[in-house]
């Protein structure tokens, strides 16, 4: 069980215990009841906002360490971008590294669609980052979430000629509805273990680079951006990527796609059946 889910269950059990106590021994003090309600709401909110807690979905935040051939998965969200994605592809090619691009479905038109095909032909993986990148995705109905993801998956397949099972929710928010739809569509929900915090116009190259380099460990999944969600600022990733790739080279860390990184993850079924 993930730590996030254990926290969720513990909070729920505490709430139930408080309810039982108020029935059997009289109402609990209002401050205690209010505190418990705020605490439970905070736990739920943390689970929605922070995919690394894996509270609602089995979010994959890292791969298994591979000491004989250490590797990490660089991931880029919110593209493709005609100006900023090509230098990233060039830097990856120069370093002999592969990466995963979580594209926004609605951006896959015309030349951007051709760019997605180029990514795939260069050996990179394409992941679904929803069609509309709706910032309120976590508040939408199951039907709307499903329709959006199906459209995005079809758009990716039309553009690149290949389907994908990789899905990263927009803004990284997950909840039980998103988790259920992802499971129905047989998608792997991909989070990250290292975050550059480069997805805003306020990001500064030195700080993003420092955060990413500090997190370069075998099995890491690194979150960066090759595009601005609304094409309204210049992403910092093309500037810092050569330095990050050089550091990976110095530490003998190969850059692989998320598919490759998680390929040998024991499935829940396999790990269960291996137990006596
Ligand atoms: Zn995004």
Model confidence pLDDT, tens digit, residues 8-65 = 667 777 776 767 777 777 777 777 777 777 776 766 667 666 666 777 678 999 999 9
pTM summary value: 0.82
| Average per-residue pLDDT for the chain | 89
Of 7-11, 60-64, 222-226, 244-248, the one with minimum mean pLDDT is: 7-11
17 and 98, same domain (yes or no): no
Please count the structural domains in the chain. 2
Question: Is the peptide bond between 166 and the residue preceding it cis, with omega within 30 degrees of 0?
Answer: no
Residue 14: what pLDDT?
72
CA of 64 to the centre of ligand 1 (A): 25
Nearest of 82, 86, 56, 48 to residue 172 by alpha carbon: 48
201 and 144, same domain (yes or no): yes
CA of 172 to the centre of ligand 1 (A): 7
- Would the pLDDT of 270 be above 50? no
Q: ∠142-148-152 over CA atoms, to 5°?
A: 145
220 and 114, same domain (yes or no): yes
Residue 22: what pLDDT?
74
Nearest of 171, 247, 177 to residue 209 by alpha carbon: 247
161 and 193, same domain (yes or no): yes
210 and 115, same domain (yes or no): yes
Neighbours of ion ligand 1 (CB under 5 A): 77-78
25 and 101, same domain (yes or no): no
We report the CATH number of the domain holding residue 167 as: 3.20.20.370
- For the chain, percent of residues with pLDDT exceeding 90: 74
- 273 found inside a domain: no
CA of 236 to the centre of ligand 1 (A): 15
42 and 169, same domain (yes or no): no
- Would the pLDDT of 70 be above 60? yes
Question: Would you name the residues annotated as active-site residues?
Answer: 77, 225
Question: Of all helices (H) and strands (E), which one includes residue 102?
Answer: strand 99-103
CA of 235 to the centre of ligand 1 (A): 12
Residue 217's domain comprises 71-262
């Amino acid at each position: 069980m993930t730590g996030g889910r254990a926290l969720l269950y513990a909070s729920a059990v505490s709430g139930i215990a408080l309810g039982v106590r108020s029935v059997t021994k009289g109402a609990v003090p209002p401050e205690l009841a209010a505190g418990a309600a705020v605490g439970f709401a905070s736990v739920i909110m943390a689970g929605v906002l922070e995919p690394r807690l894996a509270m609602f979905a089995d979010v994959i935040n890292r791969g298994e360490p591979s000491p004989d051939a250490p590797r990490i998965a660089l991931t880029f969200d919110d593209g493709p971008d005609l100006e900023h994605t090509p230098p990233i592809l060039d830097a990856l090619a120069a370093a002999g590294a592969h990466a995963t691009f979580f594209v926004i479905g609605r951006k896959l038109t015309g030349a951007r669609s051709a760019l997605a095909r180029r990514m795939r032909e260069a050996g990179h993986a394409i992941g679904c980052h929803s069609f509309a990148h709706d910032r309120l995705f976590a508040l939408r109905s199951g039907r709307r979430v499903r329709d959006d993801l199906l459209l995005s998956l079809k758009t990716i397949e039309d553009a690149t000629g290949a389907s994908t099972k990789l899905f990263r929710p927009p803004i990284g928010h997950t909840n039980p509805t998103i988790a259920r739809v992802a499971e129905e569509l047989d998608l792997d929900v991909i989070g990250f273990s290292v975050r550059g915090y480069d997805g805003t116009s306020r990001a500064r190259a030195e700080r993003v680079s420092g955060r990413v380099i500090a997190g370069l460990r075998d099995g890491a999944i690194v979150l960066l951006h090759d595009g601005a969600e609304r094409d309204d600022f210049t992403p910092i990733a093309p500037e810092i990527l050569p330095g990050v790739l050089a550091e990976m080279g110095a530490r003998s860390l190969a850059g692989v796609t998320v598919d490759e990184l998680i390929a040998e993850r024991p499935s829940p079924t396999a790990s269960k059946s291996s137990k006596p």
